[in-house]
Structure 1
Amino acid sequence: MSDISLTVAVALCITAFLAGWIDAVVGGGGLVQLPALLIGLPAHLPPTYALGTTKVVSLCGTVVSAVTYARRAPLDVSVALRFSAVALASAAGGALFASAVSEEVLQPVIMVVLLGVAVFVVVRPRFGAAVAAEAPSRRRRAAAVLVAGVGVGFYDGLIGPGTGTFLVIALVTLMRMSLLTASATAKVVNVGTNVGGLLVFAADGAVLWGLVPFMAAFNMAGSWTGARMAVKRGNGFVRVVLLVVVTALVARLAYDQWWA
């Protein structure tokens, strides 16, 4: 903390609140929080400190939003916990491989996927508007575990931003959840991905523990506010935020790929 000015610390806390709100509604708070940390941290610290610190801060906020959703929104806790356990292990694996995979290779693929998602959500107004009448088949549940648990978990440990958004999309598409239920479930799964990544980064000492309590408090406040708004306003509100976050994520990845 001694190397970070009061102005920068305040800015990071405000950013943490916004990131917590976005994460609670539909995921994607890393779009805001991670770049802010990369800019605000002292130049002599490697980027892994931003990743490690973000994991701790996001974990605190995600726990708050998960509890808020569990109390107020339709949520199958046992299903969410199973996904979370798989995602935890997968995220730890992704964090271990973080330095071995080039983001420049993955980012164009991710952008294409997100653009496809945005188009799909726009042309399908009923996407995630209601729960399917029948429970998902065993094949769909297995695919959901593979995509949301293993795939997205590994991505969170490897890169991070947009994890919550990918979880929501996978759960709506494969598990046929409503957007609100998918957002609630994604928070529980995201707790697992954050823990998995954090175990690796913390073991390497790549966390600014002096900054964490302040950012975490603001992130938790944002998460609590966002979760309550999502539950109160319903699927339509979540859908609008999803489109905004997907668009912002594509723009951010395009910037990183070609102009940064």
Structure 2
Amino acid sequence: MYDISFTAVAVLCVAAALAGWIDAVVGGGGLLQLPALLIGLPHLPPAYALGTNKAVSLVGTAAAASTYLRKAPVDVRLACRMGVVAALSSAGGAFFAAGVNSAVLRPLIMVLLLCVAAFVVLRPQFGQAPGGVVTRRRLLTAFAVAGVGIGFYDGLLGPGTGAFLVIALVALLNMDMVTASATTKVVNVCTNIGALSLFAWQGAVLWKLAVPMAVFNMSGGLVGAHMALKRGSGFVRIVLLTTVVGLVGKLAYDQWWS
């Protein structure tokens, strides 16, 4: 239906590989992959970029999740339950995506991200080691924030979802960075399924483009997951801060200079 040049496909595949690596380590690969799709497909409605992005991300995130589950101490039952809640919220966010005024949301998201960055910088031990008792109240709060709130945002916009999830799981459930990142992958798989289901139903997924991009995204995700497991929480923390700064810069550019 739509012709895409070989050069555009090649560039998008490279972007997908890098996004898969970022997503596997800490989340936020959409910061790179979604803008790449929007730029590479300038003549298509934005919904096609959003839908194709979800299809690609699902494969890469699933590959990273399988790697983490084999080697990281993940509470699979908790992650899946949170993922189901997030998937339903993500589908709801995707439903409203066409009518969202992103110019209104960007400043709020930037403030939240800057607060996250400041907190991580000022708390060097944040996410280095688990500790503390997880009460029922904290667990319910985690489901509300990570499952409902961040899940809805993932379907609505998407970029930065993984980073938000990691911070929420570390702060609310006392996880270390690696375990939080691993749990995030399981939740992200569910949110991607929720949003992708709606985009696919609307016919807004370019499957012929999504397949090669997914292969590259999966490769990047596998490499990123192995690096995170090998290098530990300190490495994940550095990548998280870098991703947050990059996301704030991208949102600021979209808000005031694009």
Q: State the TM-score, normalizing by the size of structure 2.
A: 0.98
Deviations 1:185-237 (A, max 9, x none): 00000011101110111111001011111000000000000000000000000
The answer on 1:41 being equivalent to 2:32 is no
Q: For residues 221 and 157 of structure 2, what CA distance do their matches in structure 1 show?
A: 21
CA distance in 2, matches of 1:2, 1:185: 37
Distance 1:170 1:2 in 2: 40
The one-letter code sitting in structure 1 at the alignment partner of 2:85 is V
Alpha-carbon distance in structure 1 between the residues aligned to 2:133 and 2:75: 12
Counterparts of 1:2-13 in structure 2 under 5 Å? 3-13=3-13
Equivalent in the alignment of 1:246: 244
Letter in 2 for 1:117: V
Matches within 5 A, 1:91-240: 91-132=90-131, 134-240=132-238
Q: Does structure 1 conserve the Cα–Cα contact (< 8 Å) formed by 2:47 and 2:98? A: no
Distance in 2, matches of 1:48 and 1:91, equals 15
Q: Aligned partners of 2:222 and 2:81: how far apart in 1? A: 24
State the shift of 1:42 in Å.
Answer: 4.9
Kindly indicate whether the alpha-carbon contact (under 8 Å) linking 1:4 and 1:42 is maintained by their aligned counterparts in 2.
no
Contact 2:114 2:248 in 1 (8 A): yes
Partner of 2:82: 83
Check the 8 A contact 1:28/1:245 in 2, yes or no. Answer: yes
8 Å contact 1:87–1:153 — kept in the other structure? yes
User: C-alpha deviations, 1:74-120, integer Å up to 9, x for none?
Assistant: 11111100110000000000011112221111110110010011011
Corresponding pairs, count: 258
Amino acid at match of 2:115: G
Could you tell me how far apart the structure 1 residues matched to 2:2 and 2:79 are? 40
Give identity over the alignment, percent. 64
Unaligned 5+ runs, structure 2? none
- Counterpart position of 2:68: 69
Is the contact between residue 94 and residue 195 of structure 2 (CA under 8 Å) also seen in structure 1? Answer: yes
CA distance in 2, matches of 1:99, 1:48: 7
- What is the CA–CA distance in structure 2 between the aligned matches of 1:172 and 1:14, rounded to whole Å? 31
Could you tell me the TM-score, scaled by structure 1's length?
0.98
Deviations 1:12-35 (A, max 9, x none): 001000000000000000010001
Q: Which amino acid aligns with 2:125?
A: R
Shift of 1:241: 0.2
Cα distance, 1:135 vs structure 2: 3.1
Aligned equivalent of 2:28:
28
**Is the 2:8–2:40 Cα contact (8 Å) retained in structure 1?**
yes
Tell me by how many angstroms 1:3 deviates: 1.2
